[in-house]
Amino acid sequence: YDWIFTKGIKGLITQFGGANSHMAIRCSELGIPAAIGCGEKKFDDIKNARSIELDCSLNTIKIVN
């Protein structure tokens, strides 16, 4: 899935995974904010949102519809 990093993404949110997952490591290497493994409920809410705010320093994901 490394091709996704060629698309100019501003952040990455995944339903599954953890701190040692490949995507988490790649995001860290590239300085891309990420929420890896946020769970089914949160991920479903996020994927249906028009706009979100991902703040890694506060560990928050805010839906900004």
Judge whether 61 counts as a catalytic residue. no
Which residues, other chains included, contact 40 with Cβ-Cβ below 8 Å and sequence gap of 6+? 15
Contact 35, 14 (CB under 8 A): yes
> Which one of 16, 18, 19, 22 is the catalytic residue?
22
Coil, strand, or helix at residue 53? strand
Catalytically active residues are 22
